[in-house]
Amino acid sequence: MLYRETGQFKTSYQSDQALFTITQDRFLVGAILAVAVFLIPFGINDYWSKSILLPFLVFALISLGLNILVGYCGQISLGTGGFMAVGAYSCYKIMTSFPELNLIVVIVLAGLCAAGVGVLFGLPSLRIKGFYLAVATLAAQFFLVWMFNKVPWFYNYEMSQITAPPREVFGVLVTSAEASPAAQYLFMLGFVIVFTWIAMNLVRGRVGRSWMAIRDRDIAAELMGVRPLQTKLTAFAVSSFYVGMGGALVFTIWLGTVEVTETFDILQSSFFVLFAIIIGGLGSILGSFLGAAFMTLMPVVLKVLLVDVVGVIPVTAKHIEFILVGSLIIIFLINEPHGMARMWGIAKEKMRLWPFPY
Amino acid sequence: MDFLYELLVQPFADMIFEPLFFIETVVKGLMAGVLYSLVALGFVLIFKASGVFNFAQGTMALFAALTLTGLMEKLDLGMPHWMLVILCLALTVVVMIVLAVVVERFVLRPLVNQELIILFMATLGLSYVLEGVGDLAWGSDVKVLDLGLPEGVWDIGGVFVEQLDVIAAVAAGGMVAVLAVFFSKTRIGRALRAVADDHQAALSVGISLQQIWVIVWSVAGLVALVAGVMWGSKSGVQFSLSLIALKALPVLILGGFTSIPGAIIGGLIIGVGEKVAEVFWYHIHGGAVENWFAYMLALVFLMFRPQGLFGDKIIERV
């Protein structure tokens, strides 16, 4: 009853091709967007923005990127942190070399740099697959992080820690510590909305279908005329573009200051994002968002519960958090290996039948 | 020109003019390689028997070493040192076997028939849990592991070799020999190979998968214990121990996922390559090349031989 598409006829090609074909979906997405755009900026404060909303949004974007590669094209990558670092450092270089350039342009350019590097490290995917490829992408992770730490050109011969200079977009300050949380949040949200929309259209179009063909059976896809070279490399390029932009946003908006060996460390970036998309759901746009929300919210919630409510000392709480995170991941994998996106699918089925389940 | 000179000429000149130093570096690399091999061996064992890519191997080494040092602190009631060591080793072995049973029951059994990536992620989750449990039970400060192993240096014709390294090498060699016999001569070993070959066929001739998995994880736990002990007595028991799991991955790639000799030889190659690159090409990059050298080596290698040195040839059909 709640979620029934009966009676919703599609009478034109346009309505058949719409992103959200069901009225309820349109309402839901519209409502969420309205709350996100019109309500949250008025109620936001520094704590909410820095420790919940900004990380959630930026990791949603990055998860989306990785999901394109892992979930849609089936190429496992553990080099996410490296590509994020490329985004962040190229963003820094462009920002400091061309101070006049609009920050939006800078971030897109940083994404393009990351896409180039991604294609380079995607080349081995033509020869190797599966876990072999995963290890090969680890090379990207360690090499890139090392490079940004050791080659002084990337951090302008100063300290290896880079700090975002203050920049205005449409007359509003968005980077540096003085920027208002609402402005930062809206800037980030704009990126996420636009690029989610692009990704949704990409994955259902020709490109996305060829990715999925390669994922499902690469040899069969090749026989059908899908070119593995172009397909895999576009997946690497698009994925790294998203991840690189995410890295640039982490650097400019969320953190403001980045130390490459800490922020883009393998556990905190590569595995974190991989967990997010597996828990959220591989090959699902919604899954990227749910997974990112789960992974960014869970530590915060656990910390609040353990330290403030139960009263455990922070060091012990850290260890308990490790155990809980690990067990939650295992429990999740056992109960729903297809992630939260599938859970949402099941919930929709239930709502369609409710209140007469038989 | 300077750059090319430093890249292509000077390191080789250094090697030729200081042969002793070069040999010493190679030996050091070999010894580091032995430790990589030990961790990689644990990976290969589990991968062969259950198709699970066990990321938690490094954390298992850390966990085993932590348990050992923790027990040694707790049980130090005035008995002779060698007795304490043996008692604690035995107890740690028991802990690792219990761990294997628990892992099989609560992680592997519910995940039978899932995709490989799911199993891989589950072992990643497992490594988080183990790390948390280890730290919670025994504290997270750096511990010194003292088993009474000799710590001096031998001078063999001008080349200095650490005794501990030699013991590690001997232990690794002995371990491989025992494992080889175990795999080829015993009843359980043959069952293990049957499971590795084909799960369903093995089931149909009456081999219990669950039992085999417990055995394999126990053996991997023992290998982890040896690796943890060796690494721990070298540089203290601490968090970084679990990161050698990441180092073992290129070793696996180089040697092939399914080959035990591959794990050993891959480890040695990576160990030597890393040390030589670090020591002789130091001028151009400012150090810390150890972090990524192994991966790059594996990457380049994969371009030419995707299945590794000794891995099974990958044949794909639609």
Each residue of A217-262: pLDDT tens digit?
888 999 999 999 899 999 999 999 999 999 999 999 888 888 888 8
> For position B306, what pLDDT does the model report?
73
Q: What mean pLDDT do residues A125-132 have?
A: 78
Please tell me if residue A130 touches chain B, with a CB cutoff of 8 Å: yes
- Cβ-Cβ contacts under 8 Å, B110 against chain A: 334
Q: Inter-chain contact A326–B295, Cβ cutoff 8 Å?
A: no
Burial of A159 (0-12, 13-18, 19+ CB in 10 A): exposed
pLDDT surpasses 80 at B257: no
% of chain A at pLDDT higher than 90: 36
Tell me which residues of chain B, numbers 211 to 250, contact chain A at a CB-CB cutoff of 8 Å. 246, 249-250
CATH of the domain at B128: 1.10.3470
B287 pLDDT above the threshold of 70: no
More confident residue, A329 or B94: B94
Task: Report pLDDT for B150.
Answer: 66
Mean pLDDT of A176-180: 80
Kindly list the residues from chain A whose CB atom is less than 8 angstroms away from the CB atom of residue B126. Answer: 326, 330
pLDDT of residue B233: 75
Is A313 in the B-facing interface, judged by CB distances under 8 Å? no
Number of structural domains found in chain B? 1
Q: Report the pLDDT value the prediction gives residue A227, as an integer from 0 to 100.
A: 92
pLDDT of residue A38 exceeding 70, the answer is yes
- Tell me: the pLDDT tens digits for A310-344? 777 777 777 888 888 888 888 888 888 888 899 99
Is some CB atom of chain B closer than 8 A to the CB atom of A26? no
Digit-coded pLDDT (tens) for A46-56:
888 888 899 99
CB A54 within 8 A of CB A252: no
By the CB < 8 Å criterion, does B296 face chain A?
A: yes
| Residue A94 pLDDT greater than 80, yes or no | yes
Mean pLDDT of B259-283: 81
Rounded-to-integer distance, Cα B89 and Cα A124, Å: 44
**What does the pLDDT read at residue A14?**
87
The verdict on B252 touching A (C-beta cutoff 8 Å) is yes
Q: Is pLDDT of B198 > 80?
A: no
Task: Tell me if B251 sits within 8 A of B262, measured CB to CB.
Answer: no
> Is the residue at B25 inside a domain?
yes
Q: pLDDT grade, residue A1 (50/70/90)? A: low
- Alpha helices, DSSP H only, in B145-243? 163-185, 187-197, 199-204, 209-235
Residue A23 pLDDT level (bands cut at 50, 70, 90): confident
Query: In A, residues 80-109, which contact B (CB 8 Å cutoff)?
Result: none
Query: Which residues constitute the domain of residue B220?
Result: 19-137+162-304
| Res A293: pLDDT | 93
Handedness of CA B93, B94, B96, B100 (dihedral sign): positive
Average pLDDT over residues B283-312: 74
Residue A87's pLDDT is what?
Answer: 94
Q: If pLDDT is split at 50, 70 and 90, which confidence band does B139 have?
A: confident
Confidence of residue A212 (pLDDT cuts 50, 70, 90): very high
Q: Tokens for A131?
A: 């876990």
Q: How far apart, in whole angstroms, are the C-alpha atoms of residue B142 and residue B239?
A: 8
Q: pLDDT higher for B160 or A137?
A: A137
pLDDT number for residue A204: 92
Tokens 């519960």 correspond to what residue? A305
A119-133 average pLDDT score: 82
> What is the pLDDT, as a whole number, of residue B51?
72
- When pLDDT is averaged across residues B275-288 and rounded to a whole number, the result is 71
* Contact in structure between B278 and B293 (CB atoms under 8 Å): yes
**Least confident window among A56-70, A104-118, B100-114, B248-262:** B248-262
Q: Residues B257, B308: contact at Cβ < 8 Å?
A: yes
Residue bearing tokens 């719409």: A18
**In terms of residues, how long is chain B?**
318
Closest CA to A145 of A185, A211, A86, A221: A86
Look at residue B4 and tell me if it is in a domain.
Answer: no
Q: Confidence band (pLDDT; 50, 70, 90) for A214?
A: very high
Place B148 in a pLDDT band, splitting at 50, 70 and 90.
low
Name every residue whose Cβ is closer than 8 Å to that of residue A186 and which is 6 or more positions away in sequence: A37, A41
- Residue B176 located in a structural domain: yes
Average pLDDT (B123-146) is: 80
Which region among A34-43, A146-155, A292-301, B40-49 has the lowest average model confidence (pLDDT)?
B40-49
Q: Looking at the domain assignment, is residue B146 inside a domain?
A: no
Instruction: Examine the pLDDT at A208 and tell me if it is beyond 80.
Output: yes
Q: What pLDDT, on the 0 to 100 scale, is given for residue A82?
A: 93
Give me the helices (H) in chain A, please: 13-16, 23-34, 40-43, 46-48, 54-67, 80-97, 103-122, 131-150, 181-204, 206-216, 218-223, 228-249, 260-263, 272-280, 285-303, 314-335, 339-353
Per-residue pLDDT band at A309 (split at 50, 70, 90): confident
ipTM over 0.90: no
Q: What is the pLDDT of residues A273-290, one digit of tens each?
A: 988 898 898 889 999 999
Residue B34 pLDDT grade (very low, low, confident, very high; cuts 50, 70, 90): confident
Interface of A with B in 132-191 (CB under 8 A): 132, 135-136, 138-139, 142-143, 145-146, 149-150
Q: Give the residue from A148, A146, A115, A122 showing the smallest Cα distance to A136.
A: A122
Question: Of B295, B302, B270, whose CA–CA distance to A124 is shortest?
Answer: B302
Q: How confident is the model at residue B181 (pLDDT cuts 50, 70, 90)?
A: confident
Structure tokens that stand for B58 in this block: 């490094």
Interatomic CA distance for residues A137 and A118, integer angstroms: 10
How far apart are the C-alpha atoms of A296 and A276, rounded to whole Å? Answer: 9
**Least Cα separation, residue B11 to chain A (angstroms):** 20
Torsion angle of alpha carbons B212, B214, B218, B223, nearest 10°? Answer: 50
Query: Does residue B40 surpass a pLDDT of 80?
Result: yes
Select the more confidently predicted residue: A222 or B242. Answer: A222
For every residue of A75-88, DSSP letters joined together read -----HHHHHHHHH
Q: Which of A78, A135, A223, A274 is best to mutate for the B interface (most B CBs within 10 A)?
A: A135
Mean pLDDT over the full length of chain A: 88
pLDDT at A319: 81
Cα distance from A125 to chain B (closest Cα, Å)? Answer: 9
Question: Which percentage of chain B shows pLDDT scores above 90?
Answer: 2
